[in-house]
Each structure stands twice: as C-alpha cells, then as structure tokens.
Amino acid sequence: MYYYDTIAMIVIGLNHFLLYLSFIRYNRLSLPIIVTMSLLFTVILGTIITVTGYPEFNGILMVVFLLSLGLLQIELTFWENLYFTLASIVTISLLKIVFFEISSALYLLLPFNLYVWTDNVIHMVVTIIILLLIVLLRKQIQLFAAYITKSPLYYVSYVVFTLSFVILFLLTILQVSFLFSIYKTYGKFLYMSTFILFFIILLIVIIGFHLKKEALVRKQQIYLDNELLQYVKKLELLHDELANFRHDYINLLLTLDQSIRTKNIDQIERTYYDIIAPTKEIINHEELEIIKLANIKKNEIKSLLSVKVFDAQQNNVNVTVDIPHKITSIPMPIVNFIRIISILVDNGIEAAVVSKEKLLTIAFFETKSDVYFIVRNSAEDKEIDFRKLYDKHYSKKDNNRGYGLYSLKRLIDETENASLETSYERPFFTQIVKLKRANGNNDQF
C-alpha cells in the first residue's frame, strides 16, 4: 500500500515539473534532470511535512519552487510566471481529483472486490495517466501557453486559477486552527466547487484553442499579405532595372553600330569584351539560378525564394540554387515553413554580404521519408558560441533586430517532425532543416 503511495507522490512531482516547463516553453532540461529534480523535491517536501506536521507546506513550497524554476525563462515576467505556476498546480490537482472520482465510480461497477489498498492503486494509476497525457500533449500545451497570455482569456483564467488554488489549499487537511475551522465548516462545499472550477477551466481551454486557431489564421493571412506586398515591390524594382538596362543596352548597341559603320575594329573589340560580354555572363548566371526555382510547385514558396535570390544578387552575393527534383509537398503548415526558410535565407544573405567570399547556396530536395532545406553561406571569420546562438539576446545586431534565429528555434521546437542542424566550418555557416514525413505522408499541401 505504501509502495503505491510512494510511486504516486513521485509521479505527481514529475507531473508538476513537466506541465510547468511546458507552460513556460523551456525545453533545455533533459528528462533525467527533470526526473532527478522532481524526485529530490518530493523527498524534501515529504521530509518537511513529516517533521513539521503542517501539510500546508505542500502548496506553499510548490509555488515557491516553481516560481524559482521560472527564472530559467528570462523572457517570462513575474506575473506570467505566477500565472503558469498556479495553472500547473491547479490543473494537476483538479485532474487528479476528477480522474480519481471517475475511476473509483467505474471500479465500483466492475465485479472486483474492494480492498483496503484499492484507492491507493487507483491514485497511482491516475497520476500515471496524467503524466502520459502531459507527455503526449506537450506541444499543444506549449502552443496554448504561448497564446493564452496575449488573449482576452488571460485575466479571466488568472482569477479562476487563483480561486481554484485557494480552494484546493483549504481542502488540504490543515493544522492551522483558523484554516481548519473553514475546512470543517465548508469542506463539502469547497469539494463540490472543485468540480465546477474544473469544468470552467475546461471551457476556458476549449474557447482558448478556438480563439487561437482564429488568431493563427489571421496572422497567417497578414504574413502572406506582407510577403505578397514585398514580392510586388521587388517585381517593380526588377521592372525598373530592366527598363534602365534596356535603355543602356540600346546606347551600347548604337555605339557598336557606329563602330561597325566606321570599321573601327579596336573600338568594336573594346565595346564587346569590356562591356557586353561580362553583362551576358551575369545575366546568364542570374537567370539560371532563378529558373531552377521552377521545380518548386507551390507558388508561395517559389515567389518568396525568387525575391530572396534577387535580393541577394542585388547585394553582389553569388547565389547558387540546387533543387534537383520537383518539390510537390511539404509535411508542415505552409506559413510556418515560409517563416522558417525566410529567416534562414535572410540571415544567410546578411552574413554573406559582409563576408569576403560573398557566397550563398540554397538547396531544397526530398526523399521518400524526409524533406531537406539547406542554406550555406560565407560569413565573417569569427568565433560562434553555439550554446547561445539561438538565445533572444545573443545577436550583435542593432536594437529590435536579431530575433530571427530565436524565432526559428521556437518554430522548430513547436513542430514535432522538424529538426535543425547547424554547423560552422570557416568561412561557411550551414543550417539544415529536416522535415520527417509521418508514415511517408504527412503533407500539408
């Protein structure tokens, strides 16, 4: 019987840790470290409660410890930290109470005898089920947490979580006389209130996911509209440059025509080799790289890369495009993929422009099980701290810039089938995005 309770206590601590880290979207702690920390905290908490005889320390110390753990996420404000702390404690506690009551009721319907240790076994099983749910839904929890603090539900849910925490705290078998009198008088009412609060929180989550979906659609549309606007501007610039080029080329032909008429062979050779021939080489190279994008069958991606390649060429970067086969589908939402490749190529161009070699290579290909997008660019010869490369404040760029790689890492982490590999061999910086197909077919378009 005590074995079941011990296992349940350890799993409950692990549940709080995993759920809280999912809420604050901190993914740098390995599973062994999380398990060790939760086990250590459970032992310390159990020792303190046993020695002092005050179960009130259970909730208080949990709040203090999770708040301290929130300091790992430097972008988290105190009030957001407190919000996710309360949300974690309340969610685990309410799920445990509701699942336990449901499991006990179901057990009574089964033709099994009720033993003294039955409740302990049910308690252990319930905590394990909650743990499995957190692990399976971790990505969805992170997406929801990223949205909720910016949604109109934030303050409403803050009040609900705070009220729920107070009620759950009072439901503890309290030793302080004043608190115990409240529990003794209103215990049944408080217990019933937990179920009401559970369904209120469940309703908030359902509404939150619906609003998040609508917000994501609006955000995607705004992003696509901005990309289209940039694309049109680039086309206008290209049109103007082609018009200027046409005008200059006509003047060159007139000069060449005059030289031919006067049979000035020296002038003809100088005009051709010094002016016309180099221009032809540049045009052929740029056109060749743009033409390779024809293998991409999704117009949004093709248009974006066309603009980026043109922009790089305008900055005197030597661009090489390698798309050997047709790309017909991507196992990822198209807007997220566009954001990822946009960040990669933009950073590649910025680094190549200031480098000595001024080289940029874009590779895009697929296999039966995976899709690869690779950006390789020359960069300045300097040391790169890969441990801090994706930190929000690592970039040396001007204010309000340098969040590209940070956003890129967030997008990759939020996509289950995506991975990012980064390497640097002077003077080339290489980033490889790999998208794995689920059962060979996880296409979003």
Question: What's the CA gap between 131 and 137, in Å, rounded?
Answer: 10
The CATH number given to whatever domain includes residue 366 is 3.30.565.10
Region 391-416 average pLDDT: 64
- Return the top range by mean pLDDT from 22-31, 168-177, 353-362: 353-362
Last residue of a domain, one of 220, 255, 274: 220
CA-CA distance, 171 to 191, in Å (whole number)?
Answer: 7
328 domain-assigned: yes
From 220, 247, 282, the end of a domain falls on 220
Q: Is residue 26 part of a domain?
A: yes
305 with 207, same domain: the answer is: no
Instruction: Please give the pLDDT value at position 403.
Output: 53
Question: Do 144 and 54 sit in the same domain of this protein?
Answer: yes
Any domain includes 34: yes
CB 84 within 8 A of CB 23: yes
- Residues 6 or more apart whose Cβ sits within 8 Å of residue 63: 85, 86, 89
175 is a domain residue: yes
The rounded mean pLDDT for the chain is 78
Q: Please tell me the least confidently modeled range out of 39-43, 271-275, 322-326, 390-394.
A: 390-394
Banded model confidence at residue 401, pLDDT cuts 50, 70, 90: very low
User: Which of 163, 198, 220 is a domain's end point?
Assistant: 220
Is residue 188's pLDDT more than 70?
A: yes
Whether residue 303 is found in the same domain as residue 212? no
Cis status of the peptide bond prior to 427, with omega within 30 of 0: yes
pLDDT of residue 249: 65
- The number of distinct structural domains making up the chain is 2
* pLDDT of 397 over the 80 cut: no
Q: Is residue 358 part of a domain?
A: yes
Q: Look at residue 398 and tell me whether its pLDDT is greater than 50.
A: no
If asked whether residues 203 and 336 sit together in one domain, one would say no
Task: Enumerate long-range contacts of 75-80, CB under 8 Å, 24 or more apart.
Answer: 75/392, 76/24, 80/149
- Please indicate, yes or no, if residue 156 is contained in any of the structural domains: yes
* Percent with pLDDT over 70 in the chain: 73
175 and 298, same domain (yes or no): no
Are residue 197 and residue 334 in the same domain, yes or no?
A: no
Nearest Cα to Cα of residue 389 among 412, 415, 355, 367 = 412
Calculate what percentage of the chain has a pLDDT beyond 90.
7
- Per-residue model confidence (pLDDT) at position 371: 92
pLDDT score of 319 more than 80: yes
Query: What integer pLDDT is reported at residue 244 of this predicted model?
Result: 65
pLDDT tens digits along 49-106:
777 777 767 778 888 888 888 888 877 888 989 999 998 988 898 888 888 888 888 8
Q: Note the pLDDT of residue 442.
A: 47
Same domain, 315 and 187: no
**75 and 205, same domain (yes or no):** yes
Question: Which pLDDT score is estimated for 10?
Answer: 86
The pLDDT value recorded for residue 176 is 55
**Lowest-confidence pick of 115-129, 240-254, 373-387:** 240-254
In a domain? residue 93: yes
> Does position 138 have pLDDT exceeding 50, yes or no?
yes
69 and 209 fall within a common domain: yes
Asked if residue 400 has pLDDT above 50, the reply is no
Domain residues for 65? Answer: 2-220
Residues 191 and 49 in one domain: yes
C-alpha–C-alpha distance, residues 124 and 132, integer Å = 13
What is the 3-state secondary structure of the chain?
A: CHHHHHHHHHHHHHHHHHHHHHHCCCCCCCHHHHHHHHHHHHHHHHHHHHHHCCCCHHHHHHHHHHHHHHHHCCCCCHHHHHHHHHHHHHHHHHHHHHHHHHHHHHHHHCCCCCCCCHHHHHHHHHHHHHHHHHHHCHHHHHHHHHHHCCCCHHHHHHHHHHHHHHHHHHCCCCCCHHHHHHHHHHHHHHHHHHHHHHHHHHHHHHHHHHHHHHHHHHHHHHHHHHHHHHHHHHHHHHHHHHHHHHHHHHHHHHHHHHHHHCCCHHHHHHHHHHHHHHHHHHHHHHHHHHHHHHHECCHHHHHHHHHHHHHHHHCCCEEEEECCCCECCCCCCHHHHHHHHHHHHHHHHHHHHCCCCCEEEEEEEECCCEEEEEEEEECCCCCCCCCCCCCCCCCCCCCCCCCHHHHHHHHHHCCCCEEEEEEEECCEEEEEEEEECHHHCCCCC
CA distances from 34 to 67, 140, 318 (A): 16, 20, 47
Alpha-carbon span 424 to 406, nearest angstrom: 18
Together in a domain, 298 and 215: no
Q: Is the pLDDT of residue 225 over 90?
A: no
Answer yes or no: do 404 and 318 share one domain. Answer: yes
Tell me the per-residue pLDDT of 413-436, one tens digit each, with 9 for 90 and over: 888 889 988 888 888 989 999 998
More confident position, 397 or 337? 337
pLDDT of residue 396: 47
Predicted pLDDT of residue 129 = 92
Integer Cα distance of 234 and 150 in angstroms? 34
**In angstroms, rounded to a whole number, what is the distance separating the alpha carbons of residues 122 and 36?**
25
Q: Is residue 231 part of a domain?
A: no
